[in-house]
Amino acid sequence: MILCPATAVCECVLHCKKKKKSVVLQLSAQSDVLRAERERIKTGLKHKHPLLNQSFLFCVHVINFGVPFQPQTPPPCSKRKGGKRSCNKLEGLLQELLESHGERWSEEIKEDLPLSFQRHGDLVLIGDNTFCLSLWKKMGEDLWSTVAKGLGAKRLAKQGRVSRDGFRTPEVTMLLGEDSWVTHVDNGISYQFDVTKCMFSSGNITEKLRVAAFDCTGETVVDLYAGIGYFTLPYLMHANACHVHACEWNLEAVKALQKNLNVNGVSNRCTVYQGDNRQLQLCDVADRVNLGLIPSSEEGWPVACRLLKRTTGGVLHIHQNVTSQLQARHDVPQGLSGKRADRRAWQEWANETAEKIASLLKDVTGGQWTTNIQHIERVKSYAPHVHHLVLDLECRPS
């Protein structure tokens, strides 16, 4: 991760196909790099990135263009005529709105503004813990149209927590505009979904790019937790999978998935199963199974083992949040750095998983299997020492 010195307003993912690596760049409002990026992104060219010394080619993807992230330093303020201080367009417009209602700007108000938000086309999703002060109610309808103007959006919605109902339904309410369907374009793939009914996980972009770089020519893939097609679509459109069986139990996500398969022109190579993947009647079909559920996909492991081709086996991509409890563990030698302790915990988790899967495969098929850890990918971290990992596990009958 490379941070520019001032408040970051744009986050880009740069992916190196050759090295199969992605980096996330946060770029500042002031930086020339951002201006240069904008031009490059518009033209969609692959290029060498000026901030990095490596001389390899990247393809660029932008998440949250124009979004201020948690600043590392206080945002730089500009002095306007008349002595008013304004930190950005949104603040300026809100100050004017407040003043027109006889209210004065304060630090408390400033702290009630969104620090980060998600942009999906012309809709911006703001956080739950923003605009909580009672004085905003006095602004009536003008408030949301002003916020939308300040953020360069036509529609606004407010994000609550993602529910723990297993469907991962987001608690989102529309603030401005009625149509809650949005289009999010990632790496040449168009994802359409209803923001009030389905979640979109921007944080998984590096994993989506990694999947897109796989060569799955001639392969049958099963995506056990397909959602709106986050991984199903890269498998079909970029990795060249022959066929994907996509399972999803949330009806709203299934509607979006079917729409996305059609919009992207790949519905003839995908079979969608609506329902609980543990009830899936398929077996002995897959060269690859994607298990994209966190905090754990363990309930799907027996299904994945049934799905692998009995004669040739295949690869499982197992997602899991892995915590290395540095303080609590007595077996961590003194002086072992946080990063090394994390890596050790990842390797231990991968080893245990490889053993469990080998044993499950034996139970399911009655024969011996060997499992081989091909790769452990860190997707993102949720907190210090809590990481979303993906284990690429090769499973072959022996």
Query: Which residues in this chain contact ligand SAM in the complex, by CB under 6 A?
Result: 166-168, 201, 204, 225, 227, 230-231, 247-250, 253, 276-278, 292-293
Separation of alpha carbons 121 and 64, rounded Å: 10
CB of 249 to ligand SAM, least distance (A): 4
309: amino acid identity, one letter: K
Of 139 and 294, CB closest to ligand SAM = 294
For ligand SAM, the closer of residues 276 and 352 by Cβ is 276
What single-letter DSSP state applies at residue 341?
H
- Residue 193 Cβ, how far from ligand SAM at the closest point, in Å? 10
Quick one: 307 exposed, middle or buried, by C-beta within 10 A (0-12, 13-18, 19+)? buried
Q: Given the complex with ligand SAM, which of 75 and 302 has the nearer CB atom? A: 302
Cβ 226 to ligand SAM shortest distance, Å: 7
Cβ distance to ligand SAM smaller for residue 131 or 225: 225
Q: How far apart are the first and last CA of the chain?
A: 41
Reference 376, options 288, 317, 336, 292; nearest CA is 317
Q: Looking at beta carbons only, is 147 or 305 nearer to ligand SAM?
A: 305
Beta carbon of residue 293, minimum distance to ligand SAM (angstroms, whole number):
5
Q: How far is the CB of 393 from ligand SAM (least distance, A)?
A: 17
Question: Would you tell me how many other CB atoms lie within 10 Å of the CB of residue 270?
Answer: 24
Q: How far apart are CA 345 and CA 335, in angstroms?
A: 16
**Looking at beta carbons only, is 204 or 371 nearer to ligand SAM?**
204
Calpha distance 340→345 (Å, rounded): 9
Give me the least distance between CB of 294 and ligand SAM, in Å please: 6
Number of residues that make up the chain: 398
**Cβ pair 249, 51 in contact under 8 A:** no
